[in-house]
Amino acid sequence: MTNRAYRAKLWLNRNYNLNKQVEADQRMLEILQDRLGNGVAKYESDGSECHDSDAARQRHEDTLLEMSQLRERYEREKRQLVEETAKTRKAISELQDPAQRAVAVDRYINGLKWENIAELEHVAIAQVYRIHRTMLEQMATVLENLGGAT
């Protein structure tokens, strides 16, 4: 892989990695919400002064704080993902070869694994790798033409 192609891959991976991070944060928020829901139910149903109520209250407050911080990060990353996806889609749309555009969208916008791309595009995985390699060279030229979108 040439330096140009490598830089194009790094540029495209920004969107891919950010998408994965947003998905992971969303899953973590769901887990914390479940934890909070279970803890709240136990805490609220415990009307008596029990030796565990202080610990339960502290866990509840810690979970609320963690959720608040994670939700802020999630919202910030989600806004950034929308911006990055728009830039990435614009660059991909400049590719001339429809197969290259398809592989780029499948991988860098939709986050698909190489095996899934091969299946979706009805080609061998080795062909996906070849298309991807030539797409990176073309993307380097596209990015240069877009004024160094990197």
Please, are residues 131 and 119 in contact by the beta-carbon 8 Å criterion?
Answer: no
Q: 150 or 129: whose pLDDT is higher?
A: 129
Alpha-carbon distances of 143 from 21, 82, 150, rounded to whole Å? 24, 19, 7
Q: 57 or 83: whose pLDDT is higher?
A: 83
Secondary-structure class of domain 3-145 per CATH: mainly alpha
Please tell me the predicted confidence (pLDDT) of residue 39: 60
Q: What is the pTM of this model?
A: 0.76
> Minimal CA–CA distance to 84: which of 30, 34, 14?
14
Span 105-135, pLDDT tens digits: 999 999 999 999 999 999 999 999 999 999 9
Backbone dihedral angles phi then psi of residue 3, each to the nearest 5 degrees: -60, -40
Residue 41: strand, helix, or coil? helix
Domain boundaries, the chain: 3-145
pLDDT at 60 over 50: yes
Span 12-47, pLDDT tens digits: 999 999 999 999 999 999 998 888 776 654 544 444
Please tell me the predicted confidence (pLDDT) of residue 55: 80
